[in-house]
Structure 1
C-alpha cells in the first residue's frame, strides 16, 4: 500500500512539474512567434501564438546587418575571457578571506564590504578607465567589469568558511602551499558556488552594453547587445519621424518583431549556458559529500 501511495505521489508530482514547465515555455514561445509576425499583423491583432501573417522582415533586418556577426564574436570573447578571469580573482579572494591562517582577513573583508555599500559615482569610474588606457580597445569591455563583485566574493567566502580547517592543516603538514590548497582542495569542494558566480559573471558580461557606450567608439568593437540597442533606437527614431511628418515614407519598419527577434538572438548562448553549468552543480555536491 505504501509503495502504491509513493508511486502515485511521484506520478502526481511529475505531472505537476511538467505542467508548470510547459507554462514557463509559453512566454518564450510567444516571443518566438511574434518575431516571425509581420508588423502590420502585430499592429492590427497584437501578439498572437499563431500569427495571421508570417514574416521574416525582422530577421532579414538584423541578420542583414554586416557588423552583427562580428559583434557576436566580440561578445563571446568578452564573456568567456572576462568570466574566467573574474571567477579566478573572486575564488582566490574568497579563499584569502576564508582561510583562518591569513592575517588581517577580517580587515580585508570590511574593506570589500565598504565598496559594496558606497559607490564613488560615474565620473571617477570614467576617469580611472581613461588613466588605465581602457578606451577603444577590447579590454575596455572586460576590465571595468572584471574587478569582482563584492556580493559574489562574500558568497564564495561564506561557502569556503564551511570547509573544515583541518584540511588546510593536513595539507600543510604534507608540504602544500596556499596555491596548491586553493586549486586542488578548496576549488573542487566549492564547485556549486563557483558555478553560481560563473553564471552571474557570464550573464553580466553577455548583457553588458554600458561599457561600450562609455568607452568604445570603434564600430569593430561593438558588442552584440550594444549593436542591437543602437539598431532598435534608430528604428524607433525613424518611426517617430514618420508619425510626426518629418520623414515621408510608406515603408513600415518591423519595430515590435525586431524587439522579439533581438530577444531570440541574444538569449541563445545564455540558454546553453545553464545546462552546461548544471553538471558542475551536481559534481560539486557529490565531491562535497564524500568523506574519507
Structure 2
C-alpha cells in the first residue's frame, strides 16, 4: 500500500480547494438565478438575496406558464432545436465520413477549402439577401439551412472516424462485399456514439440559445423562439429601471418583470440542464478522441 507524503497530501488539498472554488464560481450564478426567481422581488432589488431565498413566491412561474405567446415560443424553440440538430448531425456525418476515407481524391484540398470558410465569409448582408432570394424569410428553414453544418465539428468528427474506428474492421467489411454506405450505417455509426453524442450536445445547445438568426430572419411573432421573448423581457426590465423612480406603478411592474426575468431564465435553460447528464459519459471521451489525435 502506497503511503502519501506530506507534500502529496498538501498538493491534493490545494487541488481540491481550487476545484471547489472554480465550481462555486461557475455554479453560483445559476443558483442565484434560481433562488431569485422564487424570492420576493423587492428583496432581490435591494440585494438581500444572495445565499437563501427571501420568501417563497411562485407567481413568476405561474405567469410564464399562463402566457400563451411565451409558451408558443417555447414550442418553436423545441421544434427549431430538434429539426436543426437532426439536419446538423446528418450533414456533419455525410461530410466527415468521405473526408476520413483515404481513397477520396482531393480530400485535403476539399478540407482546406472548408477551413477557409472558418476565417472568411460573405458577411451578414449577402447571407440575408441569399436567404431572402431563396424565399426562406419567416420560415423555419431560415434558422436551419444557413447553419446546417459546422466546419469545426466536421473536422472533429472526421478525426474521430480516422482514429477511433479500427481500419481492420472496415477492410474486413469491404472484403465481405460491403460498400461505403453499408460500412457507414452498420459499422462506423454504431461505433461513433461518443462523438455523435458530443455533436448532439453542441448543436442542440447552440440552437437552443440562438436568437440572432431569428432576430434577423423572422418578423412574424408567431415564429419567434423562446430566446427572443426572453430578450424582450430583459430589455423591458431595463426600460422599467430607467423610469421607475418617477412612477410608483412602474416600480411595481418593474418588480414583477424582475421575478419573471429570473424565472424565464430558469425555464429557458432547464431542458439543456436535463440533457447534459445523459450525454456526459460520452462528452469527455468524444471530445478527447476527436480533438487531440490526428
Question: Please, what TM-score do these two structures have when normalized by structure 1?
Answer: 0.83
Give the aligned partner of residue 251 of structure 1: 252
What are the equivalent positions in structure 2 for 1:62-141 lying under 5 Å apart? Answer: 62-141=64-143
Describe the SS at the equivalent of 2:146. Answer: helix
> How many residue pairs get matched?
279
Aligned 1:138-287 pairs, distance under 5 A:
138-146=140-148, 148-162=149-163, 163-243=165-245, 245=246, 249=250, 251-254=252-255, 255-278=257-280, 280=282
d(CA) in 1 for partners of 2:265, 2:281: 26
Q: Secondary structure at the match of 2:237?
A: helix
Structure-2 residue corresponding to 1:290? none
Is the Cα–Cα contact under 8 Å of residues 34 and 49 in structure 1 kept in the other structure? no
Who is 2:290 aligned against? none
Secondary structure at the counterpart of residue 145 of structure 1: coil
Distance 1:38 1:208, change over 3 A: same
Secondary structure of 1:112's partner?
Answer: helix
Q: Provide the rounded CA distance (Å) in 2 between the counterparts of 1:167 and 1:107.
A: 27
Cα 1:31–1:120 shift into 2, 3 Å: same
Q: Quick one: distance in 2 between partners of 1:156 and 1:238?
A: 47
Answer whether contact 1:75 1:223 (CA < 8 A) is retained. Answer: yes
- Which structure 1 residue ranges, 5 or more long, are not aligned? 286-292
**Which blocks of at least 5 consecutive residues in structure 2 are unaligned?**
288-294
Once residues 227 and 53 of structure 1 are traced to their aligned partners in structure 2, the CA distance between those partners, rounded to angstroms, is 27
Distance 1:230 1:107 in 2: 45
| More off after superposition, 159-168 vs 194-203 | 159-168
CA shift for structure 1 position 32? 0.9
- Using the TM superposition, give the Cα deviation of residue 217 of structure 1 relative to its aligned residue in structure 2, in angstroms: 1.4
Is the CA contact 1:74–1:223 (under 8 Å) kept in the aligned structure 2? yes
Taking structure 2 as the reference length, the TM-score comes to 0.82
Deviation at 1:122, TM superposition (A): 0.5
Give the superposition deviation at 1:49. 2.1
Post-superposition offset of 1:145: 2.0
After superposition, the Cα gap between the structure-2 partners of 1:47 and 1:256, relative to the gap in structure 1 and judged at 3 Å, is farther
Alpha-carbon deviation of 1:110? 0.8
